[in-house]
Amino acid sequence: MSQDTLFDKVWDLHKVSSLPGGSDQIFIGLHLIHEVTSPQAFGALKDKNLKVKFPNRTVATVDHIVPTDNQSRPFKDNLAEQMIETLEKNCLQHKIRFFNIGSGNQGIVHVVAPELGLTQPGMTIACGDSHTSTHGAFGSIAFGIGTSQVRDVLATQTIAMNKLKVRQIWCENKLSHGVYAKDLILNIINKLGVKAGVGFAYEFAGPAIKALSMEERMTICNMSIEGGARCGYINPDEKTFNYIRNKLCAPKNESWDKALLWWKSLKSDKNSIYDDVIKLDASKIEPTVTWGITPGQSVSVNQQIPLLEELSQNDQLIAKEAYEYMGFNPGQSIKDTSVDVCFIGSCTNGRISDLRVAAAILKDKKISKKVKAFVVPGSEKVATEAKQEGLDKIFIDSGFQWREPGCSMCLAMNSDKLIGNQVSASSSNRNFKGRQGSPNGRTLLMSPAMVAAAAIEGKVSDVREFIDK
């Protein structure tokens, strides 16, 4: 059993009691809600005649269903309108802070909370969304929950949960030029598999992680769940504190000093014990693309789609399914695979630094005429900042469409969808069958830089050929 890791410390600090069933009752420091997984939870509160225990510990925004072309109300989609209205009503009734469209702070919940300074080291954070692991980048313990647990957090500010084991993933050296956080996490998931993380929290550590910016660290922690780990985190450091400083909801003045003092004490001890440790060399990683129907099915851009016999027996069943669904042959190169749609956005890679990297590649270039490409900023703040830097113009001049913030085609709950068996080059997090809105649509996951390169060429390309060496 792990000892003295950051996970152990934060867990123990938030433990309220041991429950009769054997799980722990854990206090949730920050609860984030959105329109998709909260209405039934509020409904259940009403049915049980319960109140929201600490309304000021829950924060809401709207992201999954929002249109990205025209956000004027009422939305064209009646069901989407009904969902936002329900959230508005619930927040008003229960006195919950709500960052609505037009507030300047709306966006994807996992982009918004960090940029507002709500996400802080040492907190427990829960949200009815599996990518809540994102917030672990700040040294918080953050995990996705289902709607019944959203109800529990609203009613009690706690949840019942079994303590996780801790696996440290130590990343040696540094990522090479043209290789990004997305490539690193895709490689980690490929190496360990999509279910290796079940029952574990992942601690990402080592020089390669230390060297990442906060936004890159969020990309890493965001995709922990794609490796099966409900929670992923990184020990906080100066970069963490500097990111939070002066944010809207960050502690100020004397409170900042107190916060800093406490945050600096929060990290895994040198001699802490892990349930498992995995090491990998980040310098060996190359730009990576998924070829299949799970985020674990990826290869380097210059590699071939694996042959069945190259895979472990456990991976063969899903590989066969993937070849068939994707219409790819084993042994085929992933490079030069023709793409129809290019999507830059999502809670994985829809932040300002992602947009900057992609815009630098697209500057003074035109995208392929056969490609539909669009960029969806992760939040209103990201959009504003991008416009101030002229990034929107670079995207538009290259042929990309510039959209309003939301989750968009990561999961295609709004009208941004693939059509038929289109292939998308996507900076999002899931390449599941049908994920991007068409039952036979195909998704290739890659970094935003690789999406930009694919948009220019109309096919999967090595982004290193586009950037100054």
Partner 1 sequence: MKSNLILPTGKISQIRGKCISLIGNDIDTDRIIPARFLKCVNFDSLGKFVFEDDRKTLKGMHPLDLEENKDASILIVNSNFGCGSSREHAPQALMRWGIKGIIGESFAEIFYSNCIAIGIPCFTLSKKSIQVLQKKNNNKILFLEIDLKNSIAKSKNLILDLGIKESTKKMFLSGDWDATSNLLKNSSLVEKKLKELPYIRFNAES
Alpha-helical runs (H) found in 292-390: 313-326, 346-349, 352-362, 380-388
Q: Which is nearer to partner 1, 93 or 262 (CB)?
A: 262
Query: Within the chain, what is the greatest distance between any pair of CA atoms?
Result: 64
- What CA–CA distance (Å, rounded) separates 388 from 302? 36
Contact 110, 126 (CB under 8 A): no
Q: In terms of CB distance, is 412 or 455 closer to partner 1?
A: 412
Quote the tokens at residue 421: 């068996």
Please, which residue, 183 or 226, has the CB nearer to partner 1? Answer: 226
| Pair 424, 418: CB distance under 8 Å | yes
Contact 243, 217 (CB under 8 A): no
CB of 290 to partner 1, least distance (A): 13
Shortest CB 109 distance to partner 1, Å:
12
**Can you tell me the distance from the alpha carbon of 103 to that of 210, in angstroms, rounded to the nearest whole number?**
34
**How far is Cα 335 from Cα 301, in angstroms, rounded to an integer?**
6
By C-beta, is 408 or 461 nearer to partner 1?
Answer: 408
Least separation in angstroms between residue 298's CB and partner 1 is: 14
Q: What is the CA angle 390-391-396, rounded to 5?
A: 105
Least distance (Å) from partner 1 to the CB of residue 138?
12
Nearer to partner 1, 123 or 285 (CB): 123
- Which of residues 14 and 381 has its CB atom nearest to partner 1 in the complex? 14
Of the pair 129, 203, the CB lying nearest partner 1 is at 129
Task: For the CB of residue 309, give the shortest distance to partner 1 in the complex, in Å.
Answer: 18
Shortest distance (Å) from residue 467 CB to partner 1: 32
| Closest approach of partner 1 to the CB of residue 302, in Å | 26
**DSSP character string of 174-194:** -PPTT--HHHHHHHHHHHH-T
Cβ proximity to partner 1, 33 vs 179, nearer residue: 33
What's the token pair of residue 311?
């895979």
- Pick 178 or 350: Cβ nearer partner 1: 350
Residue 145 CB-density burial (10 A; 0-12 exposed, 13-18 middle, 19+ buried): buried
Residue 36 Cβ, how far from partner 1 at the closest point, in Å?
A: 5
| 3-state SS class at 233 | strand
H/E element holding 206?
none
Q: How far is CA 425 from CA 341, 437, 450, 457, in A?
A: 6, 14, 8, 12
Distance CA 24, CA 284 (A): 41
Whole-number Å distance between alpha carbons of 159 and 23: 10
Min CB(62)–partner 1 separation in Å? 13
